[in-house]
Amino acid sequence: MPDRSNFRAYGTDNLAGTNMKILLMLLAPVSLVLAHAADAPRTETATTAPVLVRKVEPEYTAGARSKKIEGVITLYAEINEDGLAVNIKVVKSLEPELDVKAVRALQQWKFKPARKEGKPVTVTANIDIDFRLPRYPLLPSVSGRPEEPQLDVEDDWIFFK
């Protein structure tokens, strides 16, 4: 391997020194700005997303179950300062009866509200509600709980069986 310890290109001594001085002069303010930015207290200006605290699953309707309807319903909602879903609208429908069940379930959800500058704020969200039928038949309960009463509806009258 050739010895390059004495290698010097013509006119590079002054040029390299000058370039280094220019580079240091350009980088000095950047390091000062970075040092001040690291020392400055951080202020929370970004909006944090709401966090789901309580979720209620929607019920399948008998008609949708017998027709074996499955899929996703997309709902638009505003999550208010109290963590409640309000002004709910169906964006993508699956079946009208299931849409109603999805909206009723979302009305019961509870969120930790979104925050901006530490204060709760209202935000909008699109929420997908998934309807899937179980792949295996449900087994009867052996827990000893009493069965729910059977209802019979005729002409706006409800009869317990």
Tens digit of each residue's pLDDT (9 = 90 or more) over 21-51: 444 444 444 433 444 444 445 555 688 999 9
| Global confidence as pTM | 0.57
> Are the C-beta atoms of 141 and 108 separated by less than 8 Å?
no
Residue 75 domain-assigned (yes or no): yes
pLDDT band per the 50, 70, 90 thresholds, residue 144: low
CATH of the domain at 65: 3.30.2420.10
| Res 150 pLDDT > 90 | no
Residue 29 domain-assigned (yes or no): no
Between CA 140 and CA 147 the distance in angstroms is: 10
Between CA 52 and CA 83 the distance in angstroms is: 9
- Other C-beta atoms lying within 10 Å of the C-beta of residue 21: 10
Residue 130 domain-assigned (yes or no): yes
Residue 39 domain-assigned (yes or no): no
Q: Could you tell me which of 62, 73, 50 has the C-alpha nearest to residue 122? A: 50
Query: 113 versus 45: which is more confidently predicted?
Result: 113
Residue 69 domain-assigned (yes or no): yes
| The two three-digit tokens of residue 128, written as one number | 């997908």
Residue 22 domain-assigned (yes or no): no
Segment holding 26, helix H or strand E:
helix 12-39
Residue 82 domain-assigned (yes or no): yes
| Res 3 pLDDT > 60 | no
Tell me which residue range forms the domain holding 127.
47-134
| The two three-digit tokens of residue 148, written as one number | 């729910």
- Residues 1-29 have a mean pLDDT of 47
How many structural domains does the chain have?
A: 1
pLDDT digit string (tens) for 63-96? 999 999 999 999 999 999 999 999 999 999 999 9
Match 């000058």 to its residue by tokens: 18
